Amino acid sequence: MEVVNVMEYQAIAKKKLPKMVYDYYASGAEDEWSLRENRHAFSRILFRPRILIDVSNIEMTTTLLGFKISMPIMIAPTAMQKMAHPDGEYATARAASAAGTIMTLSSWATSSVEEVASTGPGIRFFQLYVYKDRKVVAQLVRRAERAGFKAIALTVDTPRLGRREDDIRNRFTLPPYLSLKNFEGLDLGTIDQTADSGLASYVAGQIDRSLSWKDVKWLQTITDLPILVKGVLTAEDTRIAIQNGAAGIIVSNHGARQLDYVPATIIALEEVAKAAQGRVPVFLDGGVRRGTDVFKALALGASGIFIGRPVLFSLAAEGEAGVRKVLQMLRDEFELTMALNGCRSLKEITRNHIITEADQLRMGSRL
């Protein structure tokens, strides 16, 4: 059956993938409240479309951190993509580049920064997990720079791995024929099988729980690449991140895989965007599955969004063609949403084009 929207890839992936792999991709933390809420919160935001505006030409291109891309829809870092498809991160890189948009490569990719760079031209960011051994981090950042990556997305919501109960039940580990390619030569490329989640044990052993703002400063001493702080959910941390030299903020709850009962990212977005005051761009990820979601995020102050699971599920279903199709479907839906809201360019998308639940409550209390 033909796939007509992004969500439909999930069921196909579920049928195709080994249970351990599908569960790792699909899961959220603990009760998965934030996982459901990342989606539900979008559905509580409504449009206030403007009519009779000539929408025969819609412009979706944008320039982010100085890089021109075809649309404000980008690819979030997700680990271990070769579990989804043998082409893994290569397929994702090629699909992103064909769509004229940015791919973020995970530290825990099953392809190295050099291998991904060798797939051809493309604007790529590198997602960084900070290991206890800072020599490992410095070396990796240097390799990403040399391989032409354009920014570092520093993940700040993972001092420990969130409790993902499916992974515990399945005794999740990386299949033996794969490795965390960026760390292969450093003896950190494999995940041991443990009595619970192998990944949680790996993180406990290798990732630095003491990470703090001073490390954001330290990172700037070892690289000139712009640093995006990924995992901000409050106005307070937005201000501190900017004070500490962040070039951008990614409002993210890690696809609801870390702390459960944090708000949906689309709910947290507005306070972050307000606190940023336009000093640095603000991005969002979490639950984006429709062009309408992209529009809502931009109306609430995002400069662009990232998608995570849709890439994994489409990769599992159809490889590079699947990821291309996901990007194309989101692009088409977003263009249609702009047209039906009377917006011809991204700057015409305003806060007045949407009405949130908080707006409705405020209006109610004035009646």
Task: Return the range that interacts with ligand FNR (CB under 6 A); candidates 2-10, 115-123, 191-199, 308-316.
Answer: 308-316
The pairs formed by 47-53 with CB atoms below 8 angstroms and a separation of 24 or more are 47/292, 47/295, 47/341, 47/353, 47/354, 47/355, 48/352, 48/353, 48/354, 48/355, 49/340, 49/341, 49/342, 49/353, 50/341, 50/342, 50/343, 50/353, 51/342, 52/342, 53/342, 53/343, 53/344
**Cα end-to-end span (Å), the chain:** 49
Gap between the Cα atoms of 309 and 315, Å rounded: 10
Closer of 228 and 273 to ligand FNR (Cβ): 228
- Binding marks (x or -) toward ligand FNR, 234..273, rule CB under 6 A? ------------------x-xx-x----------------
Residue 358 is assigned to a ligand binding site: no
Identify residues 84-103 at the interface with ligand FNR (CB under 6 A).
none
Torsional class of 23: left (φ above 0), alpha (ψ -120 to 50), beta (otherwise): alpha
Asked if 108 interacts with ligand FNR (CB under 6 A), we say: yes
Active site residue 254: yes
Asked if 226 interacts with ligand FNR (CB under 6 A), we say: no
- Binding marks (x or -) toward ligand FNR, 19..48, rule CB under 6 A? -----xx------------x----------
Residue 308 is assigned to a ligand binding site: yes
Break the chain down into helix, strand, coil percent, rounded to 5: 45, 15, 40
Task: Return the range that interacts with ligand FNR (CB under 6 A); candidates 9-17, 302-310, 340-348, 356-364.
Answer: 302-310
Residue spans of alpha helices (H) in the chain: 8-16, 19-26, 33-43, 88-99, 113-117, 134-146, 165-169, 198-206, 213-222, 235-243, 265-276, 291-299, 309-341, 357-366
- In angstroms, what is the minimal distance from the CB of 250 to ligand FNR? 8
Residue 210 is assigned to a ligand binding site: no
Asked if 319 interacts with ligand FNR (CB under 6 A), we say: no
Cross-strand bridge partners of residue 307: 75
CB 230 within 8 A of CB 182: no
Closer of 119 and 258 to ligand FNR (Cβ): 258
Residue 79 is assigned to a ligand binding site: yes
* Binding-site residue set for FMN: 77-79, 106, 127, 155, 230, 252, 285-289, 308-309
Residues that bind ligand FNR (CB under 6 A): 24-25, 38, 76-79, 106, 108, 127, 155, 230, 252, 254-255, 257, 285-288, 307-309, 312
Q: Which residues are catalytic?
A: 254
* Binding-site residue set: 24, 77-79, 106, 127, 129, 155, 164, 230, 252, 254, 257, 285-289, 308-309
* Binding-site residue set for glyoxylate: 24, 129, 164, 254, 257
